[in-house]
Amino acid sequence: MSSDTGPTGGSIDTVGSGETYDEGADEATGDPDEGVSDLPLAPYPPNLGHPKLHALRQVQDPIAFSNRASAVRDVYRIWLPGLGDLTQVTHPDHMKRILLTEREKFRKSDDFGIAFGDGLLTVEGEEWAQQRKTLQPLFVRESVMGYADTMVEQVQRRVDRWTESQHLDLQSEMTDLTLDVLFAAILGRELAVDGDEKIRRSAEALHDWFLPTSYPLPRWMPTPARRRFREGKRTLQQEADRLLEEASRNPPSDPTEADDLINLLVGLRAAGVTDSGMLTDERLRDQMVSIIFAGHDTTTTSLTFALWALAEHPDIRERFHAEVDALDGPPTAEDVEEGRLEFTDKVVTETLRLFPPVYALPRIADQDVQFNGYRVPEGERVGIIIRRIQRDPRFFDDPTAFDPDRWTDEFRQSLHDFAYAPFGGGPRICIGRQFALLEAKLSLATIGRNYELYYLGEEGEHDGPPLSPQMTLRMKEGQEFLVTER
Protein backbone atom coordinates (compact mmCIF):
# COMPACT_ATOMS: atom_id res chain seq x y z
CA MET A 1 0.00 0.00 0.00
CA SER A 2 1.46 3.33 -1.03
CA SER A 3 1.39 6.54 0.94
CA ASP A 4 -0.70 8.67 -1.39
CA THR A 5 -0.80 12.42 -1.52
CA GLY A 6 -3.83 14.49 -2.40
CA PRO A 7 -4.17 16.92 -5.29
CA THR A 8 -3.32 19.76 -2.93
CA GLY A 9 0.17 18.28 -2.70
CA GLY A 10 -0.03 17.72 1.07
CA SER A 11 1.44 14.73 2.81
CA ILE A 12 -0.70 12.47 4.93
CA ASP A 13 0.71 13.67 8.24
CA THR A 14 -2.19 13.89 10.66
CA VAL A 15 -3.51 17.39 10.93
CA GLY A 16 -1.91 19.49 13.62
CA SER A 17 -0.37 16.56 15.51
CA GLY A 18 3.01 15.91 13.98
CA GLU A 19 2.11 12.22 13.76
CA THR A 20 2.85 10.60 10.41
CA TYR A 21 1.08 7.61 8.98
CA ASP A 22 3.69 4.87 8.71
CA GLU A 23 2.65 1.67 7.02
CA GLY A 24 5.34 -0.18 8.90
CA ALA A 25 3.66 0.68 12.17
CA ASP A 26 0.68 -1.38 11.07
CA GLU A 27 2.61 -4.46 10.06
CA ALA A 28 3.47 -7.20 12.58
CA THR A 29 7.28 -7.65 12.61
CA GLY A 30 9.10 -9.45 15.42
CA ASP A 31 7.26 -8.82 18.68
CA PRO A 32 3.75 -7.77 17.51
CA ASP A 33 3.37 -5.55 20.58
CA GLU A 34 6.74 -3.81 20.30
CA GLY A 35 6.23 -0.07 19.95
CA VAL A 36 2.45 -0.46 19.98
CA SER A 37 0.31 1.48 22.44
CA ASP A 38 -3.35 1.50 23.33
CA LEU A 39 -5.34 4.11 21.47
CA PRO A 40 -6.24 7.03 23.77
CA LEU A 41 -9.65 8.61 23.96
CA ALA A 42 -10.26 11.55 21.64
CA PRO A 43 -8.87 14.89 22.85
CA TYR A 44 -11.30 16.86 24.97
CA PRO A 45 -11.52 20.33 26.55
CA PRO A 46 -10.37 20.09 30.19
CA ASN A 47 -13.34 22.11 31.47
CA LEU A 48 -15.67 19.19 30.65
CA GLY A 49 -14.18 16.94 33.30
CA HIS A 50 -13.80 13.23 32.57
CA PRO A 51 -13.08 12.33 28.90
CA LYS A 52 -16.14 10.10 28.80
CA LEU A 53 -18.37 13.10 29.46
CA HIS A 54 -16.92 14.78 26.40
CA ALA A 55 -17.48 11.65 24.34
CA LEU A 56 -21.20 11.91 25.06
CA ARG A 57 -21.16 14.86 22.64
CA GLN A 58 -20.89 12.22 19.94
CA VAL A 59 -24.54 11.43 20.62
CA GLN A 60 -25.60 15.08 20.76
CA ASP A 61 -23.63 16.31 17.74
CA PRO A 62 -21.47 13.68 16.02
CA ILE A 63 -20.49 16.13 13.27
CA ALA A 64 -18.96 18.67 15.67
CA PHE A 65 -17.32 15.90 17.67
CA SER A 66 -15.62 14.26 14.67
CA ASN A 67 -14.54 17.67 13.32
CA ARG A 68 -12.78 18.45 16.60
CA ALA A 69 -11.24 15.03 17.19
CA SER A 70 -9.98 14.46 13.64
CA ALA A 71 -8.27 17.86 13.65
CA VAL A 72 -5.76 16.32 16.07
CA ARG A 73 -5.28 12.80 14.72
CA ASP A 74 -6.59 10.50 12.00
CA VAL A 75 -7.50 7.70 14.38
CA TYR A 76 -8.99 8.12 17.85
CA ARG A 77 -11.16 6.32 20.35
CA ILE A 78 -14.48 7.39 21.85
CA TRP A 79 -16.68 5.85 24.51
CA LEU A 80 -20.46 5.61 24.38
CA PRO A 81 -22.86 4.23 26.98
CA GLY A 82 -24.19 0.86 25.94
CA LEU A 83 -21.58 0.46 23.21
CA GLY A 84 -18.30 0.96 25.08
CA ASP A 85 -15.11 1.91 23.25
CA LEU A 86 -15.26 2.72 19.54
CA THR A 87 -12.38 3.56 17.22
CA GLN A 88 -12.97 6.16 14.52
CA VAL A 89 -10.71 6.70 11.49
CA THR A 90 -10.63 9.71 9.19
CA HIS A 91 -7.98 8.99 6.57
CA PRO A 92 -8.55 7.27 3.21
CA ASP A 93 -5.58 4.94 3.78
CA HIS A 94 -7.36 3.53 6.83
CA MET A 95 -10.62 3.27 4.91
CA LYS A 96 -8.86 1.38 2.12
CA ARG A 97 -7.38 -1.11 4.58
CA ILE A 98 -10.76 -1.76 6.23
CA LEU A 99 -12.81 -2.10 3.04
CA LEU A 100 -10.29 -3.53 0.61
CA THR A 101 -6.73 -4.57 1.33
CA GLU A 102 -7.34 -6.03 4.82
CA ARG A 103 -11.09 -6.53 4.70
CA GLU A 104 -10.81 -10.07 6.05
CA LYS A 105 -9.85 -8.53 9.40
CA PHE A 106 -13.18 -6.71 9.71
CA ARG A 107 -16.85 -7.60 9.53
CA LYS A 108 -20.06 -5.65 9.31
CA SER A 109 -21.80 -4.56 12.48
CA ASP A 110 -24.49 -6.91 13.82
CA ASP A 111 -26.95 -4.03 14.15
CA PHE A 112 -28.33 -4.34 10.63
CA GLY A 113 -28.84 -8.08 11.01
CA ILE A 114 -30.76 -7.60 14.24
CA ALA A 115 -32.96 -5.03 12.54
CA PHE A 116 -33.39 -6.49 9.05
CA GLY A 117 -32.58 -10.20 9.11
CA ASP A 118 -30.52 -11.93 6.45
CA GLY A 119 -30.63 -9.60 3.45
CA LEU A 120 -27.80 -8.36 1.25
CA LEU A 121 -27.04 -5.55 3.70
CA THR A 122 -26.23 -7.93 6.53
CA VAL A 123 -24.89 -11.33 5.46
CA GLU A 124 -21.20 -12.16 5.03
CA GLY A 125 -18.94 -14.52 3.11
CA GLU A 126 -20.29 -16.98 0.56
CA GLU A 127 -23.90 -16.18 1.39
CA TRP A 128 -23.25 -12.51 0.63
CA ALA A 129 -21.51 -13.43 -2.65
CA GLN A 130 -24.50 -15.57 -3.70
CA GLN A 131 -27.03 -12.87 -2.86
CA ARG A 132 -24.98 -10.21 -4.63
CA LYS A 133 -24.72 -12.38 -7.75
CA THR A 134 -28.47 -13.05 -7.68
CA LEU A 135 -29.46 -9.38 -7.38
CA GLN A 136 -26.75 -7.90 -9.62
CA PRO A 137 -28.76 -8.17 -12.90
CA LEU A 138 -31.18 -5.53 -11.60
CA PHE A 139 -28.34 -3.05 -11.08
CA VAL A 140 -26.00 -3.45 -14.05
CA ARG A 141 -25.73 -0.37 -16.24
CA GLU A 142 -28.02 -1.65 -19.00
CA SER A 143 -30.79 -2.48 -16.52
CA VAL A 144 -30.40 0.80 -14.65
CA MET A 145 -30.66 2.84 -17.85
CA GLY A 146 -33.88 0.97 -18.58
CA TYR A 147 -35.41 2.49 -15.43
CA ALA A 148 -34.86 6.07 -16.68
CA ASP A 149 -38.32 6.63 -18.18
CA THR A 150 -40.01 5.30 -15.03
CA MET A 151 -37.85 7.56 -12.89
CA VAL A 152 -38.76 10.68 -14.88
CA GLU A 153 -42.45 9.74 -14.98
CA GLN A 154 -42.58 9.32 -11.20
CA VAL A 155 -40.73 12.59 -10.54
CA GLN A 156 -42.92 14.52 -12.98
CA ARG A 157 -46.04 13.04 -11.43
CA ARG A 158 -45.01 14.38 -8.03
CA VAL A 159 -43.81 17.84 -9.08
CA ASP A 160 -47.02 18.34 -11.08
CA ARG A 161 -48.68 18.67 -7.67
CA TRP A 162 -46.50 21.65 -6.69
CA THR A 163 -47.89 25.16 -7.03
CA GLU A 164 -46.46 28.65 -7.39
CA SER A 165 -45.29 30.13 -4.05
CA GLN A 166 -45.85 26.85 -2.21
CA HIS A 167 -43.68 26.22 0.84
CA LEU A 168 -42.18 22.70 0.85
CA ASP A 169 -40.64 20.67 3.64
CA LEU A 170 -38.16 19.35 1.11
CA GLN A 171 -36.81 16.46 3.19
CA SER A 172 -40.34 15.06 3.47
CA GLU A 173 -41.17 15.74 -0.18
CA MET A 174 -37.99 14.09 -1.48
CA THR A 175 -38.69 11.08 0.74
CA ASP A 176 -42.06 10.62 -0.97
CA LEU A 177 -40.48 11.16 -4.39
CA THR A 178 -37.74 8.56 -3.92
CA LEU A 179 -40.22 6.04 -2.52
CA ASP A 180 -42.34 6.59 -5.64
CA VAL A 181 -39.33 5.81 -7.83
CA LEU A 182 -38.13 2.84 -5.79
CA PHE A 183 -41.50 1.10 -5.65
CA ALA A 184 -42.28 1.67 -9.32
CA ALA A 185 -38.86 0.78 -10.74
CA ILE A 186 -37.48 -1.88 -8.40
CA LEU A 187 -40.57 -3.39 -6.76
CA GLY A 188 -42.92 -3.08 -9.74
CA ARG A 189 -45.68 -1.51 -7.63
CA GLU A 190 -46.76 2.10 -8.17
CA LEU A 191 -47.63 4.01 -5.01
CA ALA A 192 -50.63 6.33 -5.07
CA VAL A 193 -49.26 9.86 -5.35
CA ASP A 194 -51.74 11.12 -2.76
CA GLY A 195 -52.09 7.88 -0.82
CA ASP A 196 -50.37 4.77 0.48
CA GLU A 197 -49.50 6.80 3.56
CA LYS A 198 -49.15 3.72 5.72
CA ILE A 199 -46.48 2.32 3.39
CA ARG A 200 -44.67 5.66 3.21
CA ARG A 201 -44.61 6.23 6.96
CA SER A 202 -43.60 2.61 7.57
CA ALA A 203 -40.60 3.04 5.27
CA GLU A 204 -39.58 6.14 7.20
CA ALA A 205 -39.98 4.31 10.52
CA LEU A 206 -37.21 1.88 9.55
CA HIS A 207 -34.71 4.61 10.46
CA ASP A 208 -36.02 4.83 14.00
CA TRP A 209 -34.04 1.74 15.00
CA PHE A 210 -30.86 3.80 14.65
CA LEU A 211 -31.90 7.05 16.33
CA PRO A 212 -29.02 8.32 18.52
CA THR A 213 -31.34 8.65 21.51
CA SER A 214 -32.16 4.94 21.61
CA TYR A 215 -29.46 3.21 19.56
CA PRO A 216 -26.95 2.78 22.44
CA LEU A 217 -29.59 1.39 24.82
CA PRO A 218 -29.86 -2.38 25.44
CA ARG A 219 -31.72 -4.13 22.62
CA TRP A 220 -34.38 -5.47 24.99
CA MET A 221 -35.31 -2.01 26.24
CA PRO A 222 -38.54 -0.73 24.65
CA THR A 223 -38.51 2.85 23.35
CA PRO A 224 -41.02 4.80 21.24
CA ALA A 225 -38.56 4.75 18.34
CA ARG A 226 -38.18 0.98 18.47
CA ARG A 227 -41.93 0.53 18.67
CA ARG A 228 -42.34 2.66 15.51
CA PHE A 229 -39.63 0.62 13.82
CA ARG A 230 -41.23 -2.72 14.62
CA GLU A 231 -44.68 -1.55 13.52
CA GLY A 232 -43.26 -0.14 10.28
CA LYS A 233 -41.26 -3.28 9.57
CA ARG A 234 -44.35 -5.44 10.16
CA THR A 235 -46.38 -3.33 7.71
CA LEU A 236 -43.71 -3.61 5.02
CA GLN A 237 -43.36 -7.36 5.57
CA GLN A 238 -47.12 -7.70 5.04
CA GLU A 239 -46.87 -5.66 1.84
CA ALA A 240 -43.96 -7.87 0.73
CA ASP A 241 -46.05 -10.99 1.36
CA ARG A 242 -48.89 -9.54 -0.71
CA LEU A 243 -46.62 -8.67 -3.64
CA LEU A 244 -44.86 -12.06 -3.51
CA GLU A 245 -48.14 -13.96 -3.42
CA GLU A 246 -49.46 -11.96 -6.38
CA ALA A 247 -46.30 -12.49 -8.44
CA SER A 248 -46.12 -16.21 -7.56
CA ARG A 249 -49.44 -16.85 -9.31
CA ASN A 250 -47.76 -16.18 -12.66
CA PRO A 251 -43.97 -16.27 -12.27
CA PRO A 252 -41.86 -15.29 -15.29
CA SER A 253 -40.73 -18.24 -17.39
CA ASP A 254 -37.27 -16.69 -17.74
CA PRO A 255 -36.24 -14.91 -14.52
CA THR A 256 -33.23 -13.33 -16.26
CA GLU A 257 -35.69 -11.15 -18.20
CA ALA A 258 -37.45 -9.88 -15.06
CA ASP A 259 -37.22 -6.11 -14.76
CA ASP A 260 -38.14 -5.76 -11.08
CA LEU A 261 -37.04 -7.35 -7.82
CA ILE A 262 -40.27 -9.22 -7.09
CA ASN A 263 -40.43 -11.02 -10.43
CA LEU A 264 -36.70 -11.75 -10.40
CA LEU A 265 -36.82 -13.47 -7.01
CA VAL A 266 -40.11 -15.26 -7.63
CA GLY A 267 -38.91 -16.39 -11.06
CA LEU A 268 -35.65 -17.74 -9.65
CA ARG A 269 -37.52 -19.66 -6.98
CA ALA A 270 -39.97 -21.12 -9.50
CA ALA A 271 -37.09 -22.15 -11.78
CA GLY A 272 -35.06 -23.65 -8.93
CA VAL A 273 -32.03 -21.65 -10.04
CA THR A 274 -30.46 -21.26 -6.59
CA ASP A 275 -30.37 -23.47 -3.52
CA SER A 276 -28.76 -20.86 -1.27
CA GLY A 277 -31.79 -20.64 0.99
CA MET A 278 -32.20 -16.97 0.15
CA LEU A 279 -35.50 -17.61 -1.65
CA THR A 280 -37.58 -18.76 1.30
CA ASP A 281 -40.54 -16.52 2.15
CA GLU A 282 -38.69 -15.14 5.18
CA ARG A 283 -35.53 -14.37 3.20
CA LEU A 284 -37.52 -12.69 0.43
CA ARG A 285 -39.24 -10.47 2.98
CA ASP A 286 -35.89 -9.59 4.56
CA GLN A 287 -34.46 -8.74 1.16
CA MET A 288 -37.33 -6.46 0.23
CA VAL A 289 -37.43 -4.60 3.54
CA SER A 290 -33.64 -4.11 3.40
CA ILE A 291 -33.86 -2.67 -0.11
CA ILE A 292 -36.69 -0.34 0.88
CA PHE A 293 -34.53 0.89 3.77
CA ALA A 294 -31.33 1.33 1.76
CA GLY A 295 -32.90 2.22 -1.58
CA HIS A 296 -34.67 5.47 -0.89
CA ASP A 297 -33.08 7.40 1.94
CA THR A 298 -29.64 7.91 0.41
CA THR A 299 -31.15 9.50 -2.71
CA THR A 300 -33.59 11.48 -0.57
CA THR A 301 -30.72 13.16 1.25
CA SER A 302 -28.69 13.63 -1.94
CA LEU A 303 -31.56 15.44 -3.66
CA THR A 304 -32.41 17.53 -0.60
CA PHE A 305 -28.86 18.78 -0.18
CA ALA A 306 -28.35 19.29 -3.94
CA LEU A 307 -31.46 21.47 -4.12
CA TRP A 308 -30.29 23.37 -1.04
CA ALA A 309 -26.89 23.97 -2.68
CA LEU A 310 -28.52 25.21 -5.91
CA ALA A 311 -30.80 27.50 -3.91
CA GLU A 312 -27.86 28.96 -2.00
CA HIS A 313 -25.53 29.44 -5.02
CA PRO A 314 -27.30 31.53 -7.70
CA ASP A 315 -24.41 31.38 -10.18
CA ILE A 316 -24.34 27.58 -10.04
CA ARG A 317 -28.14 27.43 -10.20
CA GLU A 318 -28.12 29.60 -13.35
CA ARG A 319 -25.67 27.26 -15.10
CA PHE A 320 -27.70 24.24 -14.02
CA HIS A 321 -30.94 25.71 -15.40
CA ALA A 322 -29.22 26.64 -18.66
CA GLU A 323 -28.11 23.03 -19.09
CA VAL A 324 -31.51 21.45 -18.42
CA ASP A 325 -33.29 24.11 -20.54
CA ALA A 326 -31.11 23.08 -23.51
CA LEU A 327 -32.52 19.55 -23.50
CA ASP A 328 -34.95 18.65 -26.29
CA GLY A 329 -37.55 17.47 -23.77
CA PRO A 330 -37.76 15.64 -20.46
CA PRO A 331 -34.35 14.24 -19.47
CA THR A 332 -33.47 10.77 -20.73
CA ALA A 333 -30.87 8.08 -20.18
CA GLU A 334 -29.30 9.18 -23.46
CA ASP A 335 -28.90 12.73 -22.15
CA VAL A 336 -26.90 11.31 -19.25
CA GLU A 337 -24.79 8.92 -21.33
CA GLU A 338 -24.04 11.44 -24.08
CA GLY A 339 -22.92 14.21 -21.71
CA ARG A 340 -25.82 16.61 -22.03
CA LEU A 341 -26.16 16.65 -18.24
CA GLU A 342 -22.44 17.03 -17.53
CA PHE A 343 -22.80 19.99 -15.15
CA THR A 344 -25.73 18.30 -13.38
CA ASP A 345 -23.44 15.30 -12.87
CA LYS A 346 -20.85 17.56 -11.24
CA VAL A 347 -23.50 19.09 -8.98
CA VAL A 348 -24.49 15.60 -7.81
CA THR A 349 -20.85 14.55 -7.32
CA GLU A 350 -20.04 17.64 -5.26
CA THR A 351 -23.20 17.22 -3.20
CA LEU A 352 -22.21 13.65 -2.33
CA ARG A 353 -18.75 14.88 -1.34
CA LEU A 354 -19.96 17.56 1.08
CA PHE A 355 -23.04 15.69 2.32
CA PRO A 356 -22.45 11.94 1.96
CA PRO A 357 -25.73 10.24 2.94
CA VAL A 358 -23.87 7.47 4.78
CA TYR A 359 -21.53 9.80 6.66
CA ALA A 360 -20.06 7.07 8.88
CA LEU A 361 -19.54 3.41 7.99
CA PRO A 362 -19.42 0.90 10.88
CA ARG A 363 -17.31 -2.24 11.06
CA ILE A 364 -16.07 -4.58 13.82
CA ALA A 365 -12.46 -5.74 14.13
CA ASP A 366 -12.33 -9.55 13.80
CA GLN A 367 -8.81 -9.62 15.19
CA ASP A 368 -6.35 -7.26 16.85
CA VAL A 369 -5.26 -4.62 14.33
CA GLN A 370 -3.06 -1.53 14.40
CA PHE A 371 -3.54 1.98 13.06
CA ASN A 372 -0.65 4.46 13.23
CA GLY A 373 1.01 2.30 15.86
CA TYR A 374 -2.10 2.13 18.03
CA ARG A 375 -3.74 -1.15 18.99
CA VAL A 376 -7.41 -1.78 18.21
CA PRO A 377 -8.49 -4.99 19.98
CA GLU A 378 -10.54 -7.77 18.45
CA GLY A 379 -14.26 -7.14 18.82
CA GLU A 380 -14.03 -3.36 18.96
CA ARG A 381 -16.30 -1.27 16.74
CA VAL A 382 -14.49 0.77 14.09
CA GLY A 383 -16.20 3.69 12.36
CA ILE A 384 -15.01 5.18 9.07
CA ILE A 385 -16.00 8.86 9.14
CA ILE A 386 -16.60 9.41 5.42
CA ARG A 387 -17.77 13.00 5.81
CA ARG A 388 -14.45 14.05 7.36
CA ILE A 389 -12.40 12.16 4.77
CA GLN A 390 -14.24 13.93 1.95
CA ARG A 391 -13.62 17.36 3.54
CA ASP A 392 -9.92 16.84 4.20
CA PRO A 393 -7.83 19.83 2.98
CA ARG A 394 -4.99 17.44 2.15
CA PHE A 395 -7.12 16.14 -0.72
CA PHE A 396 -9.56 18.97 -1.51
CA ASP A 397 -8.75 22.65 -1.96
CA ASP A 398 -11.19 24.89 -0.07
CA PRO A 399 -12.88 21.73 1.22
CA THR A 400 -16.04 23.29 2.68
CA ALA A 401 -16.87 25.21 -0.53
CA PHE A 402 -19.58 23.88 -2.87
CA ASP A 403 -17.57 23.81 -6.11
CA PRO A 404 -18.82 21.48 -8.87
CA ASP A 405 -16.05 22.73 -11.16
CA ARG A 406 -13.41 20.96 -9.07
CA TRP A 407 -14.47 17.69 -10.71
CA THR A 408 -12.28 17.82 -13.82
CA ASP A 409 -10.97 14.61 -15.38
CA GLU A 410 -7.49 15.51 -14.17
CA PHE A 411 -8.66 16.02 -10.60
CA ARG A 412 -10.55 12.73 -10.55
CA GLN A 413 -7.48 10.85 -11.80
CA SER A 414 -5.16 12.46 -9.23
CA LEU A 415 -7.42 11.86 -6.23
CA HIS A 416 -6.63 9.16 -3.65
CA ASP A 417 -8.92 6.26 -4.57
CA PHE A 418 -10.65 6.34 -1.17
CA ALA A 419 -10.69 10.11 -0.59
CA TYR A 420 -14.08 10.23 -2.32
CA ALA A 421 -16.19 7.19 -1.47
CA PRO A 422 -19.82 8.17 -0.74
CA PHE A 423 -20.96 4.64 -1.67
CA GLY A 424 -18.24 2.86 0.28
CA GLY A 425 -15.58 0.84 -1.50
CA GLY A 426 -14.10 -2.58 -2.08
CA PRO A 427 -16.20 -5.63 -2.98
CA ARG A 428 -19.11 -4.44 -0.82
CA ILE A 429 -19.46 -1.09 -2.55
CA CYS A 430 -23.15 -0.17 -2.75
CA ILE A 431 -24.88 -2.39 -5.32
CA GLY A 432 -27.39 0.37 -6.13
CA ARG A 433 -24.94 3.22 -6.71
CA GLN A 434 -25.59 3.50 -10.46
CA PHE A 435 -29.34 3.49 -9.84
CA ALA A 436 -28.97 6.20 -7.18
CA LEU A 437 -26.76 8.40 -9.37
CA LEU A 438 -29.07 8.14 -12.38
CA GLU A 439 -32.11 8.86 -10.23
CA ALA A 440 -30.45 11.92 -8.70
CA LYS A 441 -29.46 13.40 -12.07
CA LEU A 442 -32.80 12.77 -13.76
CA SER A 443 -34.74 14.00 -10.72
CA LEU A 444 -32.77 17.24 -10.50
CA ALA A 445 -33.13 17.84 -14.23
CA THR A 446 -36.89 17.18 -14.14
CA ILE A 447 -37.39 19.50 -11.17
CA GLY A 448 -35.11 22.15 -12.70
CA ARG A 449 -37.06 22.24 -15.97
CA ASN A 450 -40.21 23.09 -14.02
CA TYR A 451 -39.24 25.07 -10.94
CA GLU A 452 -36.69 27.10 -9.05
CA LEU A 453 -36.46 26.53 -5.30
CA TYR A 454 -35.37 29.08 -2.69
CA TYR A 455 -34.24 28.11 0.79
CA LEU A 456 -36.26 29.66 3.63
CA GLY A 457 -34.81 27.65 6.50
CA GLU A 458 -32.20 28.25 9.16
CA GLU A 459 -28.44 28.46 8.87
CA GLY A 460 -26.74 25.39 10.27
CA GLU A 461 -23.58 25.12 12.33
CA HIS A 462 -21.59 23.00 9.88
CA ASP A 463 -21.25 24.83 6.54
CA GLY A 464 -24.79 24.18 5.41
CA PRO A 465 -28.35 23.83 6.62
CA PRO A 466 -29.18 22.38 10.06
CA LEU A 467 -28.33 18.69 10.11
CA SER A 468 -29.95 15.69 11.74
CA PRO A 469 -27.34 12.88 11.71
CA GLN A 470 -29.04 9.52 12.11
CA MET A 471 -28.05 6.37 10.24
CA THR A 472 -27.88 8.74 7.28
CA LEU A 473 -27.05 12.44 7.21
CA ARG A 474 -30.35 14.27 6.93
CA MET A 475 -31.47 17.85 6.88
CA LYS A 476 -33.26 18.82 10.06
CA GLU A 477 -37.04 18.55 9.77
CA GLY A 478 -39.07 21.65 9.05
CA GLN A 479 -36.59 23.46 6.77
CA GLU A 480 -38.83 24.98 4.09
CA PHE A 481 -38.21 25.89 0.45
CA LEU A 482 -40.19 28.32 -1.68
CA VAL A 483 -41.42 26.94 -5.03
CA THR A 484 -41.28 29.29 -8.03
CA GLU A 485 -42.52 28.25 -11.45
CA ARG A 486 -40.16 28.78 -14.39
Question: Per-residue confidence at 410, pLDDT binned at 50, 70, 90?
Answer: very high
Question: Per-residue confidence at 24, pLDDT binned at 50, 70, 90?
Answer: very low
Do 174 and 248 contact (CB within 8 A), yes or no?
no
Burial 413-424 (b: 16+ CB within 10 A, else e): ebbbebbbbbbb
pLDDT score for 23: 36
Question: Which tens digit of pLDDT belongs to each residue from 205-264?
Answer: 988 888 777 766 777 888 898 999 999 999 999 999 999 999 989 888 888 788 888 888
Give the residue, 7 or 351, on which the prediction is more confident. Answer: 351
Give the residue, 381 or 81, on which the prediction is more confident. Answer: 381
Dist CA 78 CA 65 (whole Å): 10
What pTM did the predictor assign?
Answer: 0.88
Do 341 and 444 contact (CB within 8 A), yes or no?
no
In the predicted model, is pLDDT for residue 432 greater than 90? yes
Question: Which tens digit of pLDDT belongs to each residue from 357-374?
Answer: 999 999 999 999 999 888
Q: Which domains does the chain have, with CATH numbers?
A: 23-485 (1.10.630.10)
Q: Tell me the residue ranges of DSSP E strands in 326-391.
A: 361-365, 369-371, 374-376, 381-384
Neighbours of 1 (CB within 10 A): 12
- Angle ∠(13,19,22) on CA atoms, nearest 5: 75
DSSP codes, 398-456: STTS--GGG--HHHHHHS-TTTS-TT--GGGS-TTHHHHHHHHHHHHHHHHHHEEEEE-
